[in-house]
Structure 1
Amino acid sequence: MIRSDFLETIEEYESQLKKYSLDLRYKIVLNIGGHLLEWPLAGNRLKDLSFTGRIHLCWDNKEAGIYYWIGNLSPHQQTINELLVDNLITKIRLLEKNYHNLNCGMGVLNSAVKAIEAKDRYTRGHSDRVAALSLKIAETLDEAGLLDPECSARDIEIAAKLHDIGKIGISELILTKTGPLTMQEIQHIRQHPAMGAAILTPLAIFEHLIPAIRHHHERFDGNGYPDELRGPEIPLISRIISVADTFDALTSNRPYRKAMAPQTALAEVRRVSGIQLDPDIAGAFLSIPLTFSS
């Protein structure tokens, strides 16, 4: 996510350069949270130029990167560029702050997810497995040109890891019940997607992921919950998570049944494609070569 946000910020800066007819070449080298961010990208010929100016990008008493530039600017144009660069630095600093807040928030929420899974030994590791499968599905969709550019790998991973966060509000007696659930218990457990959305609502940095969390139990045919959305009405990330979640649930032991064999679970995913699951996403999943331990 931080890389795509960084590139959007650079695009905005370059549009301002064009607006004010500022003819200069530049490069930025950053290190934010261990992520090396460069523009132009590594290998670009600009790296061999002798830049005439540089601005050290510093915050929190640490150097975060360097802005290099070369160009023939009048004093007036130089003043304009300094203002644009100041604005660029402010926005990059905000990206770094948001990234830090995101990591802190994820740390807390991951702890909550682990606490949920600790209550039920049958679901330990479920969220991490769903996240890994979701990323594989997204990669396959991207290769086929079916992935919305707005769906970043980081967002998909976060939403998948947090998809069951609402289960923190579900009784442990229901989560671990070995017999059939009553209708009242089923209605209670079906509240967890809405509960998850409610948990994330106060956290502005996760605001764009709330629909993905809320709707991961919708069905392609409109018979899911909590809002009975159908087809493309369901957020794309939710549809991706739904396929990964279904397969992992089928291949995991649960209190009320034993795990299906992987090949049996794949056949079940194929059977409910276009009914419960988005057929394009189910198809992408079924095309992934998966390795199963014996």
Structure 2
Amino acid sequence: MTITHIEIMSVQNARVKEWAQLLERRGREKQGKYLIEGFHLVEEALRAEAPVETIVYSLEKGLPDGLSALAPETMEWIGVSQAVLEKCSDTQTPQGIMAVVAKPSLDLDELLSGEYDLAVVLDGVQDPGNLGTIIRSADAVGANAVVLGRGTVDLYNPKTIRSTMGSMYHLPIVEADLLELLPRARKRGVRLVTTSLQAQCSCYDTDLRQPTWLILGNEAKGVSPEVAAQSDVQVIIPMQGKAESLNVAMAATVLLFEASRQRLF
């Protein structure tokens, strides 16, 4: 395969300024694109055939082995200076390779098509690390989707992207208005399960084998009253020790693996 390489050395270059804008949510929404950084994430994106538009690499370090074979022939490759990498990275030590990726789109009708029988729905989760961990857990159990309600941290925040460890490319992740989406999901036969410290029903005594969407809320406030009112059942994760509650990512992981256990065994 013949690869055409372009070189950019100046941080004043128009392309570089466009990439730097992708570090902010406003820039990502305006351009409909986002940045990923590091060999592992770029490799995962290419393997998943994500809509990678441009691969940017360090001229000093050179192009990492193995990526060329994964990329389509139409891929744009741009070698850049260390100064350019630093301008477009939110880390102190850029890894030497990044990619510009177009945001995917998933139609809500597709989400409700019946294929998504185990999903995680997040209502206002604000920590990038929590969101990334939840996506990894959903990926680990083979969940069908992750739904991000309004007020949830941006999936394409660089910190969120890093914390997914590539799992964001293994299952659909969609943004939605939960008050609009959840009633439609129930009409399609989905059981809506929320967590609550006041719930009487244990997650271990709740049937999670049928089509189920697990709804988890904000780190401090939990699931909002409006969204909780849409749920079919509220559950609690029993705890034998003295901890008052679990971190939202830990709670999501427990529920996902319990749903997986019920379905497998």
Query: TM-score, normalized by length of structure 1?
Result: 0.26
Choose between structure 1 and 2 for higher RCO, CA contacts under 8 A separated by at least 6 residues: 2
**TM-score, with normalisation over the residues of structure 2?**
0.28
Larger Rg: 1
- Name the one with the larger helix percent: 1
